[in-house]
Amino acid sequence: MSLEAKIILEDNETIIQLNPGESLLKNLTNNNFKLESPCGGKGSCGKCKIRILQGQVIPSSQDKIYFSEDELIKGYRLACTCYPEECVIIEVEKNFSCNYEIITTNKIQKISKDNLRVNIYEVKINEEILEEINNITSYINKTLQLQLNYSLDSLEKLAFLLKDDITIIDKIYIKTMEAKVIDVSTKPIDSYGIAIDIGTTTLAISLIDMKTGNIINNYSSINPQQKYGYDVITRIQYASEDEKNLKEMSKLISSALEESINKLLSMSNIDKLLLDCITIAGNTTMIQLLLGLDSFSISLAPFTMITNQIIDLSYAEVFKTHNLKAKIFLLPSVSAYVGGDITSGIYTTDMGHKDFISILLDIGTNGEMVIGNKDKLMSASTAAGPAFEGAKIKYGVGGVKGAIEAIKIEGNKVLVKTIANEPPLGICGTGVVDIVSELLDNKIIDETGYLNEEYLNEDKEYFITNKEDKTNIGFTQKDIREVQLAKAAILAGIEVLIQSYQCSYEDIDKIYLSGGFGTKLHFEQAINIGLLPKELKEKIVPIGNSSLDGAIKFLLNKDASNELENIIRKTDYIELSLNQDFNNKFIDNMYF
Ligand code: FES
């Protein structure tokens, strides 16, 4: 008899066939039900919660860790450790992972006309001029005073023009990319480029007018690889298990990017043949997986990546289709854990050209950080853990609509603000920082992080909110320990970096906070819990998606490759996992 599950999601019911050899999570994923699965189905994050309404499934050992006796009796199970042996009716909670607030960009790039990667020139030409020359490319080069090469496509267009159009025209338009003519026309020509930030969670894409530098449109979506884990290590492990998995991971991201590029072009009414260049920034693992490169060596000491060079490829090489002619640049990484997204951030802040010292900090599962000025740059990455992304926090969620992003305790009341003012679903990173800060200020936790039991409810949680129908959202002792680990790692990283750079807090002019969490973070609260140093309070500058901004800057500037190569050359990397000072400071910073 075939095994079936009836899935209830909000008001909809769907029947799916179950493959008994696969977990319920895998069965649901195969049938397009997306559950949060930060640990990639390993039973270690507690997020893939479902409820069995009918049918028997014996609780797994992981179920017993994540659910109380009462919850187990009510049928709560982790989908990734659930293997039904009879037909079941299952309730799945609304998918949180499809409506992330994604930080794109609206920053206008200052561009110099002299440095544009793509240029469009008008060249006077007619029958009389042709009588005086014996070849057309020398004439164009001489007229423009440039040494240009010509693509086959542009030579074919010139040949056609000489044959058919020359009697009716008096000028042509020449499109160049760097020193190469890539298009010729008797009518004005346009040129567009696309800049992409591949985040571990989200993809952010901007369509740019290459002639003016204006942003035409932005588009964003979820990184579909997250069904195999929210952090890079889990994804690397999955991709390295088998060549088939590696191909699947590469295909997942390349298909999502292609789909996003097509949507962005069609919603902007732009012909895809006018797309001349694409730049992609992302952490080292994201870039390697996009290219289908096995990344196992990134996951183990000595953490070796494949290349620190700019990768310059054709559209066909990256996307395995000949759909578009656009050239693609993938921005280079400093190290396995300071990737092209950070290089891009260094480039866009211009910190490597400044007299003053600044810090660039991007807080995600890893806290990546760079310090420096025009003389030298130094970088590090610390495994902060996913607490500020909502993972490993009992009621944690990403930056989705309904996530609690701000919290204030007033007497017996807890006031919350959610993203988009939707009913509360869980707590995102900024809410996590706020609640810990409030618990400290109200002396509900002490400096060791101990949560005073007299404030806890019967589930051993500090009560935050009561979602009318089902879930009490609370904060647990274990959640506080996760925050302590994360904040101690970030602050210890900053301290070691400053010490290694042989400077002090007074010498630092700015601390740039990049990324979604950094941009939305409440600084006072972050300083209060010891995530950021109080000495830098007046120097914090949130800069949004600096990875995407750097990719746009690279797209527009023909000298960008030299700049990025310079950044790679002058940026040292400190391996914090082997640094005794870091370990000592990490332990000290665990206290509040
Ligand atoms: S516990 Fe099931 S996906 Fe993490």
Nearest to 377 by CA among 510, 571, 530, 129: 571
Which residues of 202-252 form beta strands (DSSP E)? 202-209, 215-222
Give CATH 3.30.420.480 domain extents, the chain: 192-330
Nearest to 551 by CA among 344, 261, 328, 314: 344
Give CATH 3.10.20.30 domain extents, the chain: 4-92
How does residue 154 score in pLDDT terms, banded at 50, 70 and 90? very high
Q: Please tell me the residue having the least CA distance from ligand 1 atom 1.
A: 43
**For a substitution probing ligand 1, which of 44, 64, 231, 389 has the most ligand atoms within 8 Å of its CB?**
44
Angle at 475 between CA 436 and CA 397, to 5 degrees: 95
Ligand 1 centroid to Cα of residue 296, in Å, is: 22
> Which ligand 1 atom minimizes the distance to the CA of 48?
2
Ligand 1 centroid to Cα of residue 79, in Å, is: 7
Ligand 1 centroid to Cα of residue 457, in Å, is: 25
Residue 108 CA to residue 402 CA, distance in Å, equals 30
Number of H helices, E strands in the chain: 19, 26
**For a substitution probing ligand 1, which of 22, 24, 29, 48 has the most ligand atoms within 8 Å of its CB?**
48
> Which ligand 1 atom minimizes the distance to the CA of 62?
1
Percentage of the chain beyond pLDDT 70 is 96
Residue 30 CA to residue 16 CA, distance in Å, equals 10
Angle between helices 232-241 and 243-267 (to 10 degrees): 120
Amino acid making up residue 45: C
Mean pLDDT of the chain: 91
How does residue 421 score in pLDDT terms, banded at 50, 70 and 90? confident
> Which ligand 1 atom minimizes the distance to the CA of 44?
1
Write out pLDDT tens, residues 474-483.
Answer: 999 999 999 9
pLDDT score, position 469: 45
Only one residue has tokens 């996530």, namely 403
Give CATH 3.30.420.40 domain extents, the chain: 351-386+483-545+556-588
Ligand 1 centroid to Cα of residue 113, in Å, is: 52
Residue 471 pLDDT > 70 = no
45 lines ligand 1 (CB under 6 A): yes
7 lines ligand 1 (CB under 6 A): no
Only one residue has tokens 């200020």, namely 441
Among the ranges given (216-225, 479-488, 502-511), the one the predictor scored with the smallest mean pLDDT: 216-225
pLDDT, average across residues 352-366: 94
| Tokens standing for residue 445 | 């936790």
| Tokens standing for residue 205 | 């894409």
Q: How far is CA 108 from CA 342, 513, 531, 550, in A?
A: 20, 19, 31, 12
439 lines ligand 1 (CB under 6 A): no
**For a substitution probing ligand 1, which of 22, 29, 42 has the most ligand atoms within 8 Å of its CB?**
42
Ligand 1 centroid to Cα of residue 81, in Å, is: 8
Only one residue has tokens 């992080």, namely 449
Ligand 1 centroid to Cα of residue 246, in Å, is: 21
Contact status, residue 406 vs residue 434, Cβ threshold 8 Å: yes
201 lines ligand 1 (CB under 6 A): no
Write out pLDDT tens, residues 67-77.
Answer: 888 889 999 99
pLDDT score, position 313: 97
Looking at domain 4-92, its CATH superfamily turns out to be Beta-grasp domain (3.10.20.30)
Q: Does domain 351-386+483-545+556-588 fall into CATH 3.30.420.40?
A: yes
How does residue 41 score in pLDDT terms, banded at 50, 70 and 90? confident
**In a 3-state reduction of DSSP, which class is residue 76?**
strand
CATH classification (class only), 192-330? alpha beta
> Which ligand 1 atom minimizes the distance to the CA of 41?
3
Ligand 1 centroid to Cα of residue 38, in Å, is: 7
Ligand 1 centroid to Cα of residue 80, in Å, is: 6
Residue 166 pLDDT > 80 = no
Sign of CA dihedral 127, 129, 131, 134: negative
Contact status, residue 518 vs residue 361, Cβ threshold 8 Å: yes
Residue 4 CA to residue 117 CA, distance in Å, equals 57
Ligand 1 centroid to Cα of residue 44, in Å, is: 6
Q: How far is CA 136 from CA 153, 550, 582, in A?
A: 15, 38, 64
48 lines ligand 1 (CB under 6 A): yes
Order the strands of the 327-330 sheet from edge to edge: 215-222, 202-209, 192-198, 275-282, 327-330, 311-314
568 lines ligand 1 (CB under 6 A): no
pLDDT score, position 164: 76
Beta bridge partners of 370: 360, 379
**For a substitution probing ligand 1, which of 78, 92, 234, 393 has the most ligand atoms within 8 Å of its CB?**
78
Residue 548 CA to residue 64 CA, distance in Å, equals 42
39 lines ligand 1 (CB under 6 A): yes
DSSP string over 81-123: G---SS-EEEEEPPP-TT-B------PPPP--GGGBSEEEEEE
> Which ligand 1 atom minimizes the distance to the CA of 81?
2
